[in-house]
Amino acid sequence: MKKTFPFFICLIFFLSASPSKAQSLKYDTAYKSKGYLERLEKFKTDPISKDDVVFLGNSITAGTNWAKLLDMPTAINRGISGDITFGILNRLQEIIDAKPRKIFILIGTNDISREIPDSLVLENYKSMVKRIKKGSSSKIYFFTILPVNQSTSFLRHKGKASHINWVNSEMKKMTARHVKVIDLYPHFVDENGGLKESLSYDGLHLNDAGYQVWAKVLKEGNYLK
């Protein structure tokens, strides 16, 4: 009998259009970070309403109290540490069904660190947009992926600058009537192409000053109205 591996997909990509051509390692599209399921259960105690603004992503999104940061009670945190684009797609329906006013998405750095091809990350972004548009009238916003400081202790994330830059470049082409791409990257990158040390406590995640910069981008761009 032919064996199948529904929870683990191994592919080899050789794509001349992006740094993905160098990504030929095994990758797991069903990866779930520690605490993923517990976090989903917790979300059930904080349901989303049609007036809410949802922040969807990984640990960088999870790392702040959005309602307090933005002085906006309707700001809802849907970040899960370690999450990847496939994890977002897996839990997106709950958000679509709630039909919130806005959905802000920052995701992709963990995909890149886990060798998921850049082109596949981009396709997952497009799948998110397609599903949200089909199931709700929520306004959709994507944030570009933040840079990573090479001094970080997170070894998987080192040496990924070319992948981050390519995904960000392609993501910005998605801007259309139903999708807005907010370019966070320039606000956080230092002269060496890494995450500014003053805005992070470990070279990957943001400190309070980093979240203040993020909040300033949102407020000055009038993205919250």
pLDDT at 81: 96
Q: Is residue 210 a part of any domain in this protein? A: yes
pLDDT-wise least confident of 30-44, 145-159, 182-196:
30-44
Q: Is residue 170 a part of any domain in this protein? A: yes
pLDDT at 35: 87
User: What would the two tokens of residue 6 be?
Assistant: 């529904």
* Long-range pairs for 68-71: beta carbons < 8 A, 24 or more residues apart: 69/211, 69/212, 69/214, 69/215, 70/215, 70/218, 70/219, 70/224
Higher pLDDT, 22 or 166: 166
CB contact at 8 A, 58 and 35: no
pLDDT for residue 34 is more than 90: no
pLDDT for residue 2 is more than 60: no
**Could you give the 3-state DSSP secondary structure of residue 180?**
strand
pLDDT in tens, 69-122: 999 999 999 999 999 999 999 999 999 999 999 999 999 999 999 999 999 999
Q: Give the burial string for 86-101 (b: 16+ CB within 10 Å, else e).
A: bbbbebbeebbebbbb
- Report the chain's terminal Cα–Cα distance, integer Å: 57
Q: Is residue 12 a part of any domain in this protein? A: no
Q: Which residue has the tokens 């080192």?
A: 158
User: What distances in angstroms separate CA 61 from CA 11, 27, 80, 134, one per listed residue?
Assistant: 29, 23, 8, 25
Q: Is residue 31 a part of any domain in this protein? A: no
Interatomic CA distance for residues 171 and 181, integer angstroms: 7
Q: Is residue 55 a part of any domain in this protein? A: yes
pLDDT for residue 1 is more than 50: no
pLDDT for residue 55 is more than 70: yes
**139-143, strands of its sheet edge to edge:** 75-79, 53-57, 102-106, 139-143, 179-182
List the domain range (segments joined by +) for residue 139.
Answer: 36-220
pLDDT in tens, 146-178: 999 999 999 999 999 999 999 999 999 998 878
User: What would the two tokens of residue 172 be?
Assistant: 């910005």
CB contact at 8 A, 74 and 51: yes
State the pLDDT confidence band at 33, using cuts at 50, 70 and 90. confident
State the pLDDT confidence band at 188, using cuts at 50, 70 and 90. very high
**Is the Cα torsion angle 198, 171, 84, 143 positive or negative in sign?**
positive
CB contact at 8 A, 136 and 96: yes
State the pLDDT confidence band at 27, using cuts at 50, 70 and 90. confident
CATH number of residue 161's parent domain: 3.40.50.1110
For the entire predicted model, the pTM comes to 0.89
Q: Distance of alpha carbon 34 from its chain centroid, rounded?
A: 17
Provide the number of structural domains found in the chain: 1
State the pLDDT confidence band at 222, using cuts at 50, 70 and 90. very high
Q: Is residue 4 a part of any domain in this protein? A: no
Q: Is residue 27 a part of any domain in this protein? A: no
User: What would the two tokens of residue 108 be?
Assistant: 């992709």
Q: Is residue 6 a part of any domain in this protein? A: no
State the pLDDT confidence band at 42, using cuts at 50, 70 and 90. very high
